[in-house]
Structure formats: C-alpha cells, structure tokens
C-alpha cells in the first residue's frame, strides 16, 4: 500500500518547519516527509560560522527568500 505523504521543509539546525513564508515549531509527524534546509536565522548563523563576509551573507539570504 502506498501512502500519500505531505512534504515539509525542516531546518536542519533548529528543526523549525516552513509553512508558506513562516517558520515555526512543530512536533514531528509520521504522516509528513521532511526535506531539510536552513531557516533564515540559522542560515545567517551558518554563513557567518563559515567565515563569509556580511555582504555575502545578505546576498545569500536574499536569494533564499
């Protein structure tokens, strides 16, 4: 039997889930398949940790939205 699963984007660091343009806390659900990426806050922190300059961080964030 094949189930139809909802696909949601989950931040790989803070585990918030994207719902439209909003990221929020959501408990794990078995009926959802999760794809992982970064929410804007964690993306900014990761890019800074990777040593990228602030203008590169701002460009990456603008492209991600």
Output the CA torsion 47→58→37→52 (10° steps): -20
The whole-chain average pLDDT of the chain stands at 84
What is the block-wise mean pLDDT of the chain (65 residues), using blocks of 10 residues?
79 94 89 91 86 71 70
Instruction: Kindly state whether residue 24 falls inside one of the protein's structural domains.
Output: yes
Instruction: Kindly state whether residue 36 falls inside one of the protein's structural domains.
Output: yes
Instruction: Kindly state whether residue 25 falls inside one of the protein's structural domains.
Output: yes
pLDDT digits (tens, 9 = 90+) for 33-46: 999 999 989 988 88
Q: What residue numbers bound the domain in which 29 lies?
A: 6-64
Strands (E), 1-65: 6-11, 17-19, 22-24, 32-37
Instruction: Kindly state whether residue 1 falls inside one of the protein's structural domains.
Output: no
Q: Considering its fold, how many domains does the chain have in total?
A: 1
């Amino acid at each position: 039997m094949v189930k139809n699963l909802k696909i949601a984007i989950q931040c790989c660091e803070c585990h918030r889930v994207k719902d439209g343009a909003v990221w929020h806390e959501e408990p794990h659900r078995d009926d959802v398949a999760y794809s992982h990426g970064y929410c804007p806050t964690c993306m900014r922190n990761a890019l800074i940790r990777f040593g990228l300059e602030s203008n590169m961080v701002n460009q990456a964030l603008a492209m991600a939205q």
